[in-house]
Structure 1
Amino acid sequence: MKHTKFSGQAEYQSVKDVETYLLKGVEEEQQRSLLKQAIQCADSIQDEPTHLPSSVDIAFILKKLGVEPQTLIAALLTDPRFDERLSLLDIEDQFTPSVAALTKQVNWLNTFKEPELVEHNIPDQAEALRRMLLATVNDVRAVLVRLVYRVQRLRMLGTEPRHVQYAIARETLDIYTPLANRLGIGELKWEMEDLAFRYLEPEQYNAIAKSMDVNRTHREAIIDGFVDTLQDLFAERNIEARCYGRAKHLYSIWKKMQRKNQECHELSDLLAVRVVVDSVEDCYQVLGLVHGLWRHLPEEFDDYIANTKENGYQSIHTAIHGPEQQVIEVQIRTKSMQQFAEYGVAAHWRYKEGSSQDQAMENTIEALRSLLEHPVADEQLLEQLKPDYLNDRVYVLTPKGEVVDLPPQATALDFAYFVHSEVGHHCIGATIDGQRVPLSYPLKSGERIEILTDPNSTPKLSWLSYKNRYFTTSRTAASVRSWLNNHYKDTDTAQLITSELVTGVGNREIIVSSCCQPKLGERIVGVYQSDTSVVVHSAECPNADKSKHEQPVLELEWGEKTNTIRQTIHIKAFDRQGLLQDLSTLMSQAQVNILQINSVTDTDDQSVSMDLLIEIGTEDELQHLFRRIEFIPNVFEASVGGE
């Protein structure tokens, strides 16, 4: 009997291993006897080949969730290889009617066909969801077994064809993880999300995993020190607490990257700590101690103890500026809240009847029952399971009227790459409802978009600009960077930078840092030197830390090598506080280099005259810049210098 988990480590080698593990903690003799019998049945078919999850694998996961013996017995008897040899009547005779009834429910769910690789498989998804909702209101344990089955199916997907991986992963995020979330089973939800993410977005999955490995030792040292400080603090006040660092899930990091329009290394809240205490009173005492010692972020505070989530989840969430000014997320909860957060309805039978967790499960099942009692269209049923989904998407129309859904803040360039990578590579602009817009235009739901292409056009280095935000999706980022890296693969990166393929440094000499050798597409910064040169570093390079330099450190952008125009522009305005800052911000947004500023203020009429020597791309850009300058408050004239 062999078993290989997603991690590649065998959990058991023999039927004796299985018995020892599954029988642990089972005291009642009849239950032990029936469970042994079910284990022997499952062992009898283990040598028959199958690409689907074994019922023993499923029982092992269920045992970790702490389910009672009857669920383990039913799970062991639901292996598809039993179909021709173990009828429900046999199960009723050899085990019990209740086991047979639960096995029937699970088999009914298992008979639904696996998803096919189609863009919108709504009818089949809705039918699968209706079956699981019906099973939930009849006996929630059947759905629990089915969710565990899906976890194990995802663990085994590595050897499947790519189209199978994609279809199962897509259905998992559409149906299974929202249902696991509704039932409060965080342990299963998080693993399904990460595994599905691995197959839906393999490049992003690997990129985030590698990014999290960078500086891992430093992050762990910060968390260890923070935890030690908390434990000492709790000991002084006689608070019994278990405090530990908590790993962030890759899928949740990816969602946060999309929501905040940031790369992984830009996120400030990748550090997390959980504090588990004995009572609700201790939760609030711990919160007071944490907020008393460190400055917290008010926008990140949530009290789910006072305002329990719909699925019964309870905890206090806060975030503070901890050691080295690192943002640390802190979750505070009791032991029972922690158990419920991980196992949800799977832990139902651990609680006394009438407990808050027991009532939370009843409320959850009642809410799911209401989805069945009020018939709706297939699409609406799927969306009702995910109440926040619609608020987190942008729906636009193609020229043919087809609906395309994209992440929030998706741009016209994101849409181009959604259509096809070749469309993205050759796009030059877009029209929204017939009006021309730039590729960085953020899309809004209901708009009709058409991509304009030119076969001679190719991706631009300037698309990598963090300021202009040409794209927000990982798919676009990967496609653009891949094309540019292939295009410039025979050119030394130092050549690219010293050829002034970065913007924001004016006419200063550019030197490539020898310590980090920034790569094409990386976020880069420039450190001013006393000789007026600028040294270009990767933004992640320790030597680029502002605290290590007396000279300014500025954000740089990858740009294009073009023939630029140097021009003096003359600006007249009524003087006010912040005028120069507004002008500088505008120039930065327009990617205009300011080489020199001369300013004279007339104290009699409080006016100011400025001459700015700038570097700009084209005459058209210069005329557009004039129009934008005149919209700045207090500016009443902008012209070419000397006029």
Structure 2
Amino acid sequence: WISIPKSNGYESLHTTVVTPQGRWVEVQIRTRRMDEVAERGVAAHWRYKGVGGGGLGSEQWLARLREIVETTEAAETIEERFDLAQSSNEVFVFTPTGDLRKLRDGATVLDFAFDIHSNLGTSCTGGRINGRNVSMRERLRNGDVVEIVTSRNQRPRAGWLDIAVTSKARAKIKQILRDDQARSAQLGREELERKVKNWKLPLTIEEAVTALSKYYKIKTGFEVYALISEQRVPMGEVKELLTEAASGALPAPEIQPRRAKSDSSGDSNDRSDDCLVIDETLRDVEYKLGGCCHPILGDPIFGFVTVHSGITIHRTDCPNAKRLREEYPYRVLSARWRETTSNGAFLATIRITGDDVPGLAGRITDLVSQELKLNIRSLSFGLQRGMMQGQLSIEVKGTQTVDMVIHKLKRVKGVLRAFRVNS
């Protein structure tokens, strides 16, 4: 990076050596001017303009800056695109062959895959760090040796944007998602045109799209085509709606949430409103608790109307909540727990980190099963980076029980952290 500096003006000599113990060590050699740019960012370039030969010229640097400003998306920042992070906010990792890769702090296995090659990133299913199998969500640490695991059947999904943090990975994922959406929309349009023609309906494709978007309360024809191509709505229902639209009698969609019954013994929080009330005796509406976030009594929740499985209840902080609200707002229902619900048994998972000391796992299980009298549904303990890592799934009555268990676990000698996880 001396004769060919990085796009942000970074200049340095790098070399990598391996110790007899098998540890990779990176050496950086640079002048005081180069170090100033590396440590304090590209703005420091102007302090040294004209000092020293070589390097990225001022006009070149400005041209590169202008190009990035013009191509940066609204949701991005210039810092993300231009990689202005100081060296203290970077992480250095190695490929299995010893090549050094520099990524921003917080980068994941998925970011590493895209940094190597876009094709490697799009087919990434996980990785191995220092020989240990990990998911693509795993964050990288200085000195890690990272190997990527791929599959030919893998394809980027919208959820990957919650995993990737580097601008290169996010830009490529967004590009692929846009391409997939455009392809899906084209297939959906062709399918809708074919069906309208086969059903012999006196509607143009634009009129059909307008009727469906109004019924499903979505804004664009693009979304209508996606609904059809991804089979998120049954074609029998589409035919019925368009037939009624052709006759000028398209009904408004009706999703009737259960109303709380007024009860003289109930409290003020159980008042009647347009809100789905969840309890152990809900008979009016078919529902189930989301397996992605395992909501329990006391969690803020919402309902989501599925196509074939009734209503699914999710926590408001569910990993899928943002996507569901953005992509299917017309299917989201307000929901809350009935205050009198107290006899149900909910599954909660607690993750524990502690010192690697004898008997710690036994003390934890004794506390939960003997002292607190709670049923343990599953239990696992292991050793990672010299620390005990455990996961405990227990039956509880609600969030108050979970809070109490976590409080008591933190008081066990040797336990460093205890917190609830989604699953």
Q: Which TM-score bucket, shorter chain as reference?
A: 0.3 to 0.5
Q: Per residue, is there more strand in 1 or in 2?
A: 2
TM-score by length of 1: 0.29
Q: Per residue, is there more helix in 1 or in 2?
A: 1
